[in-house]
Amino acid sequence: MSVIELERAFEKMSAQEQEQFAEWYEQRLARDGFAPANESEWTVEIEQRLEEIRSGKVQGLPGEFVMAELRRRYGS
């Protein structure tokens, strides 16, 4: 199943199903090596990047552009 197919299936889910999926996926990531302990480090990183965008130091890219680029690189 492609990422686009997953996106479409997710969008068709009820809010409760989406929440259940998100919980399952988070557990899967934790089982497969995602380290929740690093979450605070990611929070710091995100805050720094947001500040760079807000200050004008860097310019963000539209989500549509980013998704199109990912699809181009990794297939639909």
Q: What is the pLDDT of residues 55-68, one digit of tens each?
A: 999 988 888 889 99
As for how many domains the chain has, the answer is 1
Average pLDDT of the chain, as a whole number? 85
Tens digits of residue pLDDT in 42-57: 888 889 999 999 999 9
Domain carrying residue 50: 3-74
Share of the chain above pLDDT 70, in %: 89
Q: How does DSSP assign the chain, residue by residue?
A: --HHHHHHHHHHS-HHHHHHHHHHHHHHHHHTT--GGGHHHHHHHHHHHHHHHHHTSS----HHHHHHHHHHHH--
Cα–Cα distances in Å, from 16 out to 19, 21, 40, 76? Answer: 5, 9, 27, 27
